[in-house]
Chains A and B, each alone.
Chain A
């Protein structure tokens, strides 16, 4: 028997996320020169909150992510995030991407500066959350890695990462889900789409970003009917007004070809907006994705489309499939 008998070690999930498209987390000078933990944490918090809202867990956000110190009954986060960016290296992005708009309207284009590529080490450590909340958090993490994005500027192509070793987690049981929280954005209102191309991945990063932006422009263009300005800005974002509901990746390697992903939640605000129009919005997005932009990669492509609203009857099963942990 020694003095160290009984030493308790942390219960952590360790991830090594390899960037498939550059990772950007902003900064004081809106420059991607450093990786900022708050951007990554905000994304994890948001995404896990979407899953919790979808399974009707109203206590998740408070219990896991804590509150500001000025809140009533405030408490600290019950998990800890560790960020180790030593495996990432800084890379210059094309300063500006643009091409002439088909309707002749002038625009400024998309501006970038620097971002990171390589391997990002993340660790999430339990500090006191319950087993069901730990399970939800890990399921959310798996879905975010497999189908969504990390960091900022993910509506402009950045932030797709993968990890070959995802955390082991039990599948969600159908009995553990209750009706979604009303008026809260959740994965029951999410869409995940991946477009897979047989064509080889362009070597030029500018081209990879440009392809993603063309798909974004194409989908955004399908909401240009009279009176749709506010809806379009709500879905695709507008500086100083809305953060976008939809995110578009740049092209990334996939098998022998390449792919890009589109994901989002609509409505994505509290209170929700345009909720009654959701079915038609989703239909239009799916049709636009099917059709694709006129200026795109040539060759065969396949669309994988998933809408949370279509899985209300088998929701737990759908979540498990998204997470890759189907029972």
Chain B
């Protein structure tokens, strides 16, 4: 979402290749419906269609959301190592990484009141990166679970409305109750003090890179022709998504033994393995959008039996030091100097190259500027100096645009650093004596499988149905 302040700014100049900013800019001038249609047509022809022929027909353009803003930010939690993700988690907790490929466009409706099209894809509001939200994924997997392990009664007989039926369903299935929890939805239930309960599954969003526009044109009954094309912004197909799901096992409370954790997770995984490939993900999934092809699954578990040991990670899992602290520790556990933070955010890849090029250009122009200032008596020097100054201004603006996200990221990094420092200061006295005679080591271990049946095969293995 482009912020209103930016849109209201007369000097707001969208970046040439940025679909989202260009769309927002066009929307800014709309005052009535006809304007909106015209701006949409303009946008479609300029940005949504690639290699158009003389009649304006062409392929759907893919908008790649790569920008300096997408430098590693920690948003994509699926990229974390097993040690980072499961550090400090209680025994029998587990993490699943489910990899799939999108076969058809994925529709993820966003709530953007000021967008050029009525159906924008859901994007991170700061970075513009498309994603399928964690809440959607929880809902989609709960739906799959209800189909995979239905109640003996029909769904509609479970209550007066869906929240009521969901509650009844989960109360009747202890696995479902542990996995998804119970939402009270504000209702007061007789003889229950606190009807809500947190689920053990924790979902993360699935991030994507590419967007495209789609059009749907419903046929009118009286003419058998479509006359109102509706555009949808969608996550483009042929991308791989990785869903991270963590099962938090509250060790020490009732039903927190290994068998229970495994049974819960096996049922959840079998449900999504069985139903997601036929039902798809996202909006309009029943109409064929958001179809997935299963590619891979990785299980990472804390202290599970029968999983390949990964002893190298023992120390990390047992340290009890939060991830945000270890991020700033050196090999001996000391806090890194704050001066090293800047170097961590050195831009890489395309953005880094662009920054380097612009920096070199600026250096060259500044040298020329100095030269011209020293030789103003030369013919044409003043005129050239004027041009050079203008070019330097332009470069400064471009550099600002590229550096802004980095500065934001640096601020966030510094905030985390301060938290880490506070934590270490507070725990230093306590941590030292724990080094000798620490409690039993929890082993992190992993198991992975690939192919269209990998999710189901792993579910069978977790449940003990496969050796």
Q: What is the CB-to-nearest-CB distance from A106 to chain B, in angstroms, rounded to a whole number?
A: 18
Mask of B277-303 contacts with A, CB within 8 angstroms, 1/0:
111100011111101010000000000
Segment touching A, from B18-26, B53-61, B375-383: B53-61
Query: Are B103 and A269 touching (Cβ within 8 A)?
Result: no
Indicate if the CB atoms of B223 and A4 lie closer than 8 Å: no
Contact A125 B103 (CB under 8 A): no
A213 to B49, CA, bound (A): 29
Q: Is the CB of A268 within 8 A of B224?
A: yes
Contact (Cβ within 8 A) A28 B60:
yes
Chain B interface: which of A38-46, A278-286, A308-316?
A38-46
Does B406 sit within 8 A of A, measured CB to CB? no
Q: Are B221 and A270 in contact (CB under 8 A)?
A: yes
Q: How far is the CA of A4 from the CA of B459 in the complex (A)?
A: 8
Encode contact with B along A54-96: 1 for CB under 8 Å, 0 otherwise. Answer: 0000000000001000000000110111111110000000010
In the complex, A168 has a CB within 8 A of chain B: no
Bound complex: CA A241 to CA B222 (Å)? 10
Contact at A82–B214, with CB atoms within 8 Å?
A: no
Q: Does A7 contact B (CB under 8 A)?
A: yes
Q: How many residue pairs bridge A and B at CB < 8 Å? A: 155
Q: Report B106 CB to chain A, min CB distance, Å.
A: 11
Q: Flag A1-19 by CB within 8 Å of B: 1 or 0 each.
A: 0111011111010000000
Determine the distance from Cα of A127 to Cα of B214 in the docked complex, in whole angstroms.
26
Q: Which residues of chain B from 253 to 292 have a CB within 8 Å of any chain A CB? A: 262-264, 266-267, 270-271, 274-275, 277-280, 284-289, 291
Inter-subunit contact A77/B57 (CB<8 Å): no
Bound Cα distance from A237 to B223, whole angstroms: 9
Contact B270 A7 (CB under 8 A): yes
> How distant is the Cα of A245 from the Cα of B44 in the complex, in angstroms?
30
Chain A: minimal CB distance from B189 (Å): 27
Given contacts A4-B463, A37-B104, A123-B278, contact A27 B288 (CB under 8 A): no
Contact of B223 among A8, A27, A241 (CB under 8 A): A241
Q: Which of B143-151, B393-401, B421-429, B436-444 contacts A (4 or more CB under 8 A)?
A: B143-151
Determine if B165 is an interface residue (Cβ-Cβ < 8 Å): no
Cβ B60 vs Cβ A243 within 8 A: no
Interchain nearest-CB distance for A111 vs B (Å): 7
| Pick from B223, B225, B267, B279: contact of A80, CB under 8 Å | B279
Q: How far is the CA of A125 from the CA of B237 in the complex (A)?
A: 21
Q: Count contacts on A: residues with CB < 8 A to the other chain.
A: 53
A27 to B215, CA, bound (A): 6
* Nearest CB on B from A127, distance (A): 7
Name A's interface SS: loop
B222 touches A270 (CB 8 A): yes
Any A CB within 8 A of the CB of B28: no
A8 and B148 in contact, given A28-B60, A38-B288, A84-B103 (Cβ under 8 angstroms): yes
User: Is the pair B225, A241 in contact by a Cβ cutoff of 8 Å?
Assistant: yes
Q: A81 contacts B286, CB within 8 Å?
A: yes
Task: Tell me if A80 and B286 are in contact (CB < 8 A).
Answer: yes
Residue with the greatest number of chain A CB neighbours at <10 A, chosen from B221, B223, B264, B464: B223
> Hey, which chain B residues are within 8 Å of A28, CB to CB?
44, 48-49, 60, 212-215, 231
When the two chains form the complex, which single residue of B217, B267, B277 contacts A82, counting CB atoms closer than 8 Å? B277
Per the bound structure, the CA–CA distance linking A71 and B49 in Å amounts to 33
Q: Are B215 and A41 in contact (CB under 8 A)?
A: no
Partner of B150, one of A8, A27, A66, A81: A8
Question: Are A81 and B288 interface neighbours, CB within 8 A?
Answer: yes
As a 0/1 sequence over residues 276 to 302 of chain A, the CB contacts with chain B under 8 angstroms (1 = contact) are 000000000000000000000000000
Query: Contact mask A221-255 → B, CB, 8 Å, 1/0?
Result: 00000000000000001001111110000000000
A237→B301 CA distance, assembly (Å):
62
A-B contact pairs, 22 of them (CB 8 A): A2-B266, A2-B463, A3-B175, A3-B263, A8-B274, A10-B147, A10-B275, A10-B278, A27-B60, A27-B215, A29-B52, A29-B57, A31-B58, A34-B237, A41-B288, A66-B286, A80-B285, A81-B288, A85-B104, A113-B53, A242-B224, A269-B221
Q: Assuming A7-B274, A125-B279, what are 12 further A-B pairs, CB within 8 angstroms? A: A3-B264, A3-B267, A4-B459, A7-B267, A7-B270, A28-B231, A29-B56, A30-B55, A41-B288, A81-B288, A82-B280, A82-B291
Q: Which 8 A-B pairs have CB atoms at the shortest separation, nearest pair first?
A: A37-B288, A243-B224, A3-B263, A29-B49, A243-B225, A33-B59, A29-B58, A77-B286
